[in-house]
Amino acid sequence: APDPVEAILFMMDQRGLSRRDMEAFIGSRARVSEVLNHRRQLTLPMIRKLHAGLGIPAEVLIQPGF
């Protein structure tokens, strides 16, 4: 299964989204960086926002990305 970060990066690429765009789903710029660099796990609210906003399956996002 793809890890959550791979899934997020894939969707960002498909939709032409920047890291700044991801702040709406993940939080601050620093938090986006931590998540995308595998330094912070996704929280349930982040998973809900990413699933609702980008259509990434929740079961993919729940996988530990470490």
At residue 46, the pLDDT reads 97
For 6-65, the pLDDT digits (tens) are: 999 999 999 999 999 999 999 999 999 999 999 999 999 999 999 999 999 999 999 765
Q: Would you give the DSSP letter of residue 16?
A: T
**CATH number of the structural domain 4-60:** 1.10.260.40
Is the distance from CB of 29 to CB of 21 less than 8 angstroms? Answer: no
Task: Tell me the whole-structure pTM to 2 decimals.
Answer: 0.89
At residue 63, the pLDDT reads 75
- Say how many C-beta atoms besides its own lie within 10 A of residue 62's C-beta: 14
